[in-house]
């Protein structure tokens, strides 16, 4: 493979820039970082602009930039499901997140498991929420590493040392600066991404004969795939497409890294403004998705669909600009990976170690513990990617999306009602996890779309998270009714203003 010296130079310079920003972020909104509130949530002081970049960095990761065009390149119109699911996400954010922020801010909750612990008074339910969040996040971090691997390969660099070096740097500035580091880098990353997409918007159509030719050529290439695909969604995929979009929208808000970005905002008003402003990212994502069709029109042929976008840039742009674009994608992995490791560390510290530890930890002890765990999480993901096939990370990510959706009853419904018993929610969570995992295993972890048979003549292809969530809700409601009939009291609600402050979690 050809080594692109100019591209590598630009790539390295961009990485040095964000590394400097990551370390200097410790001085931004200066505070004592020896507490989980400051290290893990930046003191909940981010305004509208920073929150916009931070949450955008959560949603639109390096793997998104690579995987969405790759999905269109391989499966045609079906890959567009990411666009409507983000459209569904914003009104959902508007309704749910400001209310969640208000409760968590009032009671000092750092994680969603903290909220569930306080709301339902169930230690085991909170621990289940924490375990689910960590399990769902780990393969997500691994996928960011895979994104960096693809970028490094496109530069013509061989060996694993560049990936290791990138994550050593990531670990260092996350340890020292906490959430402030990815927030600062997110601003740089998103400016680079917008420049990349604007250039692609004008250059690629001009080089490939216009969008009309791109769509025509993509349609012809997709028709030759096995099985054939199309730029128009066929009716047979309507139901699976719809449930995938709906289930993904439900799940994304429940990921720990999303919750961390949300809880770092300075007010509920900031979150409402972001719900109105974040659709600008969806426009960006739509344009990025079309790169998959552009690659088909450009005649790029590969069995590794993850390499499509990097190959497209190295082929059609001058070396200096392809290095800039590949750096934007690579840096796009650092932001979410940092937030994910911080979120996982917060969950482990507060809701696993903290629940099992005898005696309450001091803020300094919590921060020290979380910093160490964040290092373990990052290097665990690195070892996983270096030691196993990337396909395993993708398969585990499929499971992660199904698992994280099972937090919906305890977290989202819990914001509005305490009708459910904590133990009932725990049983519902277990039922949903088992159902969703069983469906994914039945598909050999190759797809999260499951053939659901209703009667003898009706089969619906459905995203496994949705029927698993229905099972979760039915079990939770049924056991709640049963416990109410037996007269079992609910746990104390520490989020109630009337609850004695001394007893709050």
SS3 label, residue 359: coil
Q: What separation in angstroms does the CA of 195 have from each of 65, 137, 186, 192?
A: 14, 29, 14, 5
Instruction: Compare 471 and 391 and report the one with higher pLDDT.
Output: 471
pLDDT tens-place string over residues 152-206? 888 888 777 777 887 788 888 888 888 888 888 888 888 888 888 888 888 889 8
Work out the pLDDT band at 1, boundaries 50, 70, 90.
low
Find the helix or strand (DSSP H, E) in which 158 lies: none
Nearest to 464 by CA among 250, 183, 231: 250
CB 450 within 8 A of CB 442: yes
Which of 76-90, 299-313, 478-492 shows the highest mean pLDDT? 478-492
Q: Please, which residues bridge with residue 458 across strands?
A: 454
Pull the structure tokens for residue 106.
């009032």
Q: How far apart are CA 172 and CA 175, in angstroms?
A: 5
d(C-alpha 471, C-alpha 79), whole Å = 27
Question: What is the distance between the alpha carbons of residues 427 and 50, in angstroms, rounded to a whole number?
Answer: 39
67, 135, 475 from 462: Cα distances, Å:
21, 23, 20
Residue in 103, 153, 489 with CA at minimum distance from that of residue 306? 153
Cα R_g (the chain), whole angstroms? 23
Of the two residues 27 and 121, the one the predictor is more confident about is 121
Average pLDDT over the chain, rounded to whole? 86
User: What's the CA gap between 396 and 446, in Å, rounded?
Assistant: 10
Whole-angstrom distance, CA of residue 195 vs CA of residue 423: 50
pLDDT tens digits, one per residue of 374-412: 988 888 888 877 777 666 777 778 888 999 999 999 999
Q: Do the Cβ atoms of 409 and 252 come closer than 8 Å? A: no
Strand partners, 462: 450
Length of the chain: 505
Give pLDDT, residue 425: 96
Query: Contact 433/213 with Cβ under 8 angstroms?
Result: no
Query: Kind and range of the H or E element at 458?
Result: strand 458-463
216: exposed, middle or buried (Cβ count in 10 Å: 0-12, 13-18, 19+): middle
CA distance 466 to 164: 37
- Determine the pLDDT at residue 435: 96
Confidence of residue 270 (pLDDT cuts 50, 70, 90): very high
Alpha carbon distance 276, 283 (integer Å): 13
Cα dihedral 14/18/23/29 (nearest 10): 150
How far is residue 406's CA from residue 262's CA, in Å, rounded to a whole number?
Answer: 20
> What are the structural domains, with CATH classification, of the chain?
5-25+33-402 (1.20.1730.10)
> In the prediction, which pLDDT does 22 show?
80
Q: What is the Cα–Cα distance from 185 to 176, expressed in whole angstroms? A: 14
CB of 418 closer than 8 Å to CB of 491: no
Distance CA 282, CA 164 (A): 32
CA-nearest of 13, 21, 53, 30 to 280 is: 53
**504 versus 373: which is more confidently predicted?**
373
Say yes or no to pLDDT of 501 above 60. Answer: no
Structure tokens of 85? 């699911």
pLDDT for 498: 47
C-alpha 336, offset from chain centre = 7
Q: Is the pLDDT of residue 505 over 50?
A: no
pLDDT(128) > 90? yes
**Residue 16: per-residue pLDDT:** 86
| pLDDT at residue number 120 | 92
Helix (H) or strand (E) holding 441: helix 422-442
CA dihedral over 348, 349, 354, 356, signed as positive or negative: positive
pLDDT at 140 over 50: yes
Buried b (16+ CB within 10 A) or exposed e, 47-80: ebebbbbbbbbbbbbbbbbbbbbbbbbbbbbbbb
**Local structure of residue 33 (DSSP, 8 states):** -
User: Which whole number is the average pLDDT over 317-331?
Assistant: 88
**Helix/strand/coil (H, E, C) string of 92-146?**
HHHHHHHHHHHHHHHHCCCCHHHHHHHHHCCHHHHHHHHHHHHHHHHHHHHHHHH
The helix (H) or strand (E) run that includes residue 462 is strand 458-463
């Amino acid at each position: 493979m050809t080594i692109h010296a100019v591209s590598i130079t630009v790539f390295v310079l961009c990485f040095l820039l964000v590394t400097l920003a990551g370390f200097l972020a410790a001085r931004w909104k200066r505070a004592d970082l020896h507490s989980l509130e400051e290290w893990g949530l930046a003191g909940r002081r981010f305004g509208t602009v920073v929150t916009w970049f931070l949450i955008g960095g959560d949603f639109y990761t390096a793997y998104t930039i690579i995987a969405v065009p790759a999905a269109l390149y391989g499966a045609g119109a079906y890959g567009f499901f990411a666009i409507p699911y983000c459209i569904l996400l914003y009104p959902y954010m508007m309704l749910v997140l400001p209310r969640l922020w208000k409760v968590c801010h009032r009671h000092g909750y750092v994680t969603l498991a903290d909220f569930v612990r306080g709301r339902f008074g169930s230690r085991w339910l909170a621990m289940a929420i924490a375990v689910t969040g960590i399990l769902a996040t780990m393969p997500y971090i691994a996928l960011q590493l895979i994104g960096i691997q693809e970028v490094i390969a496109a530069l013509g660099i061989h060996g694993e040392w560049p990936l290791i070096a990138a994550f050593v740097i990531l670990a260092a500035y996350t340890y020292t600066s906490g959430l402030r580091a990815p927030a600062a880098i997110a601003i740089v990353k998103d400016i680079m991404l917008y420049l990349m997409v604007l250039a692609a918007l004008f250059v690629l159509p001009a080089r490939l004969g216009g969008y009309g030719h791109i769509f025509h050529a993509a349609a012809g290439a997709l028709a030759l795939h096995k099985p054939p695909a199309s730029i128009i969604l066929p009716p047979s995929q309507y139901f699976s497409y719809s449930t995938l979009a709906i289930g993904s929208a439900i799940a994304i808000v429940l990921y720990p890294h999303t919750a961390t970005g949300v809880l770092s905002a300075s007010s509920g008003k900031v979150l409402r403004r972001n719900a109105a402003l974040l659709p600008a990212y969806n426009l960006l994502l739509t344009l990025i998705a079309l790169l998959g069709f552009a690659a088909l029109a450009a005649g790029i042929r590969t069995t590794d669909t993850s390499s499509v976008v990097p190959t497209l840039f190295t082929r059609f742009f001058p070396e200096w600009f392809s290095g800039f674009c590949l750096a934007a994608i690579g840096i796009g992995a650092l932001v979410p990976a940092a937030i994910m490791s911080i979120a996982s560390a917060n969950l482990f510290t507060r809701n696993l170690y903290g629940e099992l530890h005898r005696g309450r930890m001091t803020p300094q002890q919590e921060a020290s513990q979380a910093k160490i765990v964040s290092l373990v999480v990052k290097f665990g993901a690195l070892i996983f990617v270096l030691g196993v096939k990337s396909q395993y990370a993708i398969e585990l990510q499929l499971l992660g999306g199904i698992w994280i959706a099972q937090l919906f009853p305890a977290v989202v419904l819990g914001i509005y009602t305490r009708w459910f018993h904590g133990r009932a929610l725990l049983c519902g969570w277990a039922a949903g996890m088992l159902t969703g995992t069983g469906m994914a295993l039945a598909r050999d972890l190759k797809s999260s779309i499951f053939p659901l048979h209703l009667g003898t003549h009706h089969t619906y292809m459905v995203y496994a998270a949705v029927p698993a969530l229905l099972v979760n809700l039915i079990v939770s409601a049924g056991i709640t009714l049963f416990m109410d009939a037996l007269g079992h009291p609910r746990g104390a609600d520490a989020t109630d203003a009337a609850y004695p402050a001394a007893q709050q979690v």
